[in-house]
Amino acid sequence: MPSFSTYAAGYGGKVPTSNLRGKKLMIVPGDSELAACTEIAQADAALATAVGMQPTIFANQGTEAEYNTAVENAIHQHYAAIGLECDFDPTLIAPAIAQAQKAGIKVTVYGATPQEAAAAKVTYNTVDPYALDAKYAAEQAVAQHNGQPFQAIAITSNAAPATAIMQNALTSELKAVCSGCTVTDVNVEVPNWQTDIASSLSSALLQHPNTTVIFPDYAGMLTYVLAGIESA
């Protein structure tokens, strides 16, 4: 089995720290069953605690009903802010977000596309540069192969709106800088990452034994991607 290079999108943003002491923050992971979502939520809670806030992580299984309940709790319990985390699509609960903002609660979204953030009219959004991330991933893979063509597998989640942005940027960049490179897509939707990514990737690697690059679309896939490589 050849060696692999693995690339994934990352996130970034800034958090204001003035006048926060004693205020309550409701943190809503996109899906608590995904390790990456839990890690992000815990990191947010640690940061909130460090600046004197009182964070609450609302554990959930990624359903709209749970998201709405979290926002309703924040409104009724007088929270100062709500953090919707881990590739969260705010359009799913736009009416609830509007109610929270009407109540004076600041609403932030982590990893939404610009279109989603605009449609939901969120207060703050750490928009991820999905297209740029994918472009850099393609360029890094080409550089590590010294410009020579390679076979790659992309792990996608086609139902997630950001996926099309990344995949279009990835294929466009590879076409421009490595016309001989090939990419096979393996689609695993977000609710099935924990159970299906490793086995799906393992099967794909056995079908394409000359693969030397794997492009996971989301950083939260990495744990399961590594398990798939080991299995293959």
Model confidence pLDDT, tens digit, residues 34-73? 888 899 899 999 999 999 999 999 999 989 999 999 999 9
Spatial separation of the C-alpha atoms in residues 59 and 69, rounded to whole Å: 11
Cβ(151)–Cβ(213) below 8 Å? yes
Closest by Cα among 3, 108, 87 to 40: 87
Rg (CA), the chain: 19
At 10, the pLDDT band (50, 70, 90 cuts) reads very low
pTM of structure: 0.74
What number is the average pLDDT over the span 98-119?
91
Spatial separation of the C-alpha atoms in residues 230 and 181, rounded to whole Å: 24
What number is the average pLDDT over the span 105-134?
86
Q: Which phi and psi (to 5°) does residue 7 adopt?
A: -130, 140
- The pLDDT value given to residue 123: 80
- The pLDDT value given to residue 16: 52
Helix 94-102 vs helix 64-76: angle between axes, to the nearest 10 degrees? 10
Q: Is the pLDDT of residue 12 over 50?
A: no
Q: Is the pLDDT of residue 26 over 50?
A: yes
How many Cα atoms are found within 13 Å in the side-chain-facing hemisphere of 163? Answer: 16
- Rounded to the nearest 10°, the torsion over CA 221, 224, 226, 230 is -160
pLDDT in tens, 146-157: 999 999 999 999
